[in-house]
Amino acid sequence: MDKLAYKNAVNKVFMAVLITAILGVLASIFSAFIATSAALDMTQAILMGTSMPFTGLLSVLILPLLVVAANIYYVVCLGHLAKAVHENDVPAVKKLRTAMILSVISSIIGLCIFLVILSGSLTAIATMGAVIGIACAVLSIIAYIFTLIAYSKLKASETFPGKDGAKLLFIGAIIALCCGVLGAIPFLGVIGGIGVIAAMVLNIIGWLKIKNSEVEETAAAE
């Protein structure tokens, strides 16, 4: 592989991971301290026919749009990485890119709830909210499966320079998947939240190890 091209691509992926993590932290903080009051304010605005409060717009539209933008950047960076890795590792990186594309689609579908809210119908919000939630959940599950397969192949690869980092990414993905299950169980949300933080840290450290891994100059993938 082209050492310079690989390093540039991995650096971009690492930056995308950092941006995504920062947005995730901001979204979590917002969810913990503001989202409840924002939901109440938005419900009141719908009932009274007044304009949407800024906190509601931040919760339903602005932060999700930033997440979509970060994920799109992540997809682009993974596309560059797929062109820079050894040909044996191209399928795994492309599978990871597909997983991120599914995440982007899930995020865009999630944004549709904003259009439903603008309709002002609480019945429509409840019904479409459930439909949108199910669609996003299905896409997220498929994306997780693709992610696990991709990381599994990379950590076992003889040609991928960052195998140790890929092992951490694989563990982090498993933890994130378990947290998603725990989060749906009453009274276990706190455990799930701790797991999400652990998964995020492993994701950052994993890509950092990949970023700092030694690279041998070999033939680049077509």
Q: Give the count of domains, the chain.
A: 1
The pLDDT of residue 186 is 65
Q: Could you tell me if residue 21 is inside a domain?
A: yes
Tokens of 35: 């989202």
pLDDT one-digit tens code per residue, 46-89: 556 555 556 656 666 777 788 889 999 999 999 999 999 999 99
Classify residue 216: in a domain, yes or no: no
Does residue 166 fall inside a structural domain?
Answer: yes
Higher pLDDT, 114 or 74: 74
Predicted pLDDT of residue 221: 45
Please answer whether residues 97 and 79 qualify as being in contact, where contact means their C-beta atoms are separated by less than 8 angstroms: yes
At 18-38, the pLDDT tens digits run 999 898 788 777 766 655 555
* Residue 168 reports pLDDT greater than 90: yes
Cβ–Cβ < 8 Å for 118, 75 = no
Q: Is 132 exposed, middle or buried (0-12, 13-18, 19+ CB in 10 A)?
A: middle
> Does residue 165 contact residue 209 with C-beta atoms inside 8 Å?
yes
Assess if residue 68 is contained within a domain: yes
| pLDDT computed for residue 222 by the predictor | 44
| Residue 104 falls inside a structural domain | yes
Checking if the pLDDT of 7 tops 70, the result is yes
Judged against a pLDDT cut of 80, whether residue 172 lies above it is answered with yes
pLDDT at 127: 77
- Asked, for residue 218, whether it belongs to a domain, the answer is no
pLDDT at 34 (0 to 100): 57
% of the chain beyond a pLDDT of 70: 73
- Residues whose CB is less than 8 angstroms from the CB of residue 92 and which lie 6 or more positions away in sequence, other chains included: 149, 150, 151, 153, 154, 157, 160
Give the three-state DSSP class for 14.
helix
As a whole number, the mean pLDDT across the chain is: 82
> How high is the pLDDT of residue 98?
96
Domain range enclosing 104: 3-211
Residue 169 placed within a domain: yes
Token pair recorded at residue 49: 């026919």
Predicted confidence at residue 219, as pLDDT, reads 47
What are the C-alpha distances in Å from 15 to residues 8, 24, 97, 112? 11, 14, 16, 28
Q: CB-side exposure of 174: number of CA atoms within 13 Å?
A: 8
Q: For residue 221, tell me if it sits in a domain.
A: no
Q: Helices 122-156 and 90-118: crossing angle, nearest 10°? A: 170
173-220 per-position pLDDT tens digit: 999 888 877 766 766 666 767 888 889 999 999 999 999 988 876 544
Q: In angstroms, what CA-CA distances link 96 with 121, 122, 185?
A: 38, 38, 28
Determine what percent of the chain falls in helix, strand and coil, rounding each to the nearest 5.
85, 0, 15
* Neighbouring C-beta atoms of residue 138, cutoff 10 Å: 12
Burial of 54 (0-12, 13-18, 19+ CB in 10 A): exposed
Q: Is the pLDDT of residue 148 over 70?
A: yes
Q: In angstroms, rounded to a whole number, what is the distance separating the alpha carbons of residues 12 and 77?
A: 6
